Structure 1
């Protein structure tokens, strides 16, 4: 509980700092050619990729935090527990940043649009409703890579090595979906600070994917097909 509390506090502080930076960058972005367009006119709109990514990735990150804290209670293996804490802490902080940006932009944290609708912009090569790029939305999950309720329930009931393997498999799927989403923002988002955060997510999660593959192999398992 103490670690969770401090992770939340850190997230709030970072959200305030990065949100201010995001608005500063947003004010400077855009090729207005010296037209004197106002900063407000370049603040992301409600239907923009910037807002859509911030909303959807916040939900995506929240489940990663949830799964990480579940497995910390289901195993005593220090490697997996350390990875789980790192993921929970990092993604809680990033979630705070993204929610902070939405607040500063004056945009809602939820939308009536279908999740990942912002990824469909730009044509079929960017994916579309139902597929969202490289990872399909599975039955009962909200976005690419997200675990279903049944899978979360199974993780809560597992213990020891079984819990470790299931967590690593679920988090591998989760990261693959997250990388697809983050790359989408890196390609589409207009706010430089948000694009940088998204690219950082891609790099960090790809590194963690390699680590999780090694951890699964050490346990005689592999990522799910």
Structure 2
């Protein structure tokens, strides 16, 4: 995800002001990781768009439709958490990570919304959230069994109202710790949802999207775990 000129200038300025080699090294690592993630996501999206002509339109209660609805909600909270922490910290590495999460997940939420519109399906659906995850997977994936997730239960990794309030009330390093802890759990939940749709969907655009989510968020989890360890 490319930074705007103003964001690039701000990050460069903040990095130059710190004398910590650890922080400088972390910012460089973040930039490299974000480039790789962006390339993976763009490639997966392009491959999916090229194959849409061969895909049947998903039904209203399909895994594809359920995933598109629920992952939108999941991503929107991710954007909210990222924007909150950007206002609560001056750390350039955390701010850069938050900016990437906000822009990437915001774009992906819009993409999911667009698919439902293209498929002429409701954005809300007629079933409780996560119902699609309770149904058995495809026989060719080796995951024919239904998920243990309960229809209508909170999505995996979704932060509670109390956790969001705790984040908003924090500042500085405390806010960074809370954010990283919540976002690691949030990413793990998104990976669980992506794996579930890989086991249940046939639409190649959705499969490419889910693979990109798994690759990018797995990489970011490792990065955030390292950042959290530095703030222990």
**Does the pair score TM above 0.5?**
yes
Matching residue of 1:127:
147
Distance in 1 (alpha carbons) for counterparts of 2:199 and 2:65 = 14
Task: Tell me whether 1:203 sits opposite 2:215 in the alignment.
Answer: yes
Matching residue of 1:185:
197
Q: Give matches, 1:1-225, under 5 Å.
A: 25-29=51-55, 42-122=56-136, 125-130=145-150, 142-220=154-232
Distance in 2 (alpha carbons) for counterparts of 1:114 and 1:122 = 17
8 Å Cα contact 1:25/1:193 also seen in 2: yes
Distance in 2 (alpha carbons) for counterparts of 1:96 and 1:28 = 23
Query: Once superposed, what is the RMSD of the aligned Cα atoms?
Result: 2.1
TM (norm. structure 1) is: 0.75
8 Å Cα contact 1:120/1:128 also seen in 2: yes
Distance in 2 (alpha carbons) for counterparts of 1:71 and 1:127 = 33
TM (norm. structure 2) is: 0.73
Distance in 2 (alpha carbons) for counterparts of 1:163 and 1:103 = 37
| 4+ runs deviating over 3 angstroms | 24-27, 123-126
8 Å Cα contact 1:145/1:174 also seen in 2: yes
Unaligned runs of 5+ in 1: 4-17, 30-41, 221-225
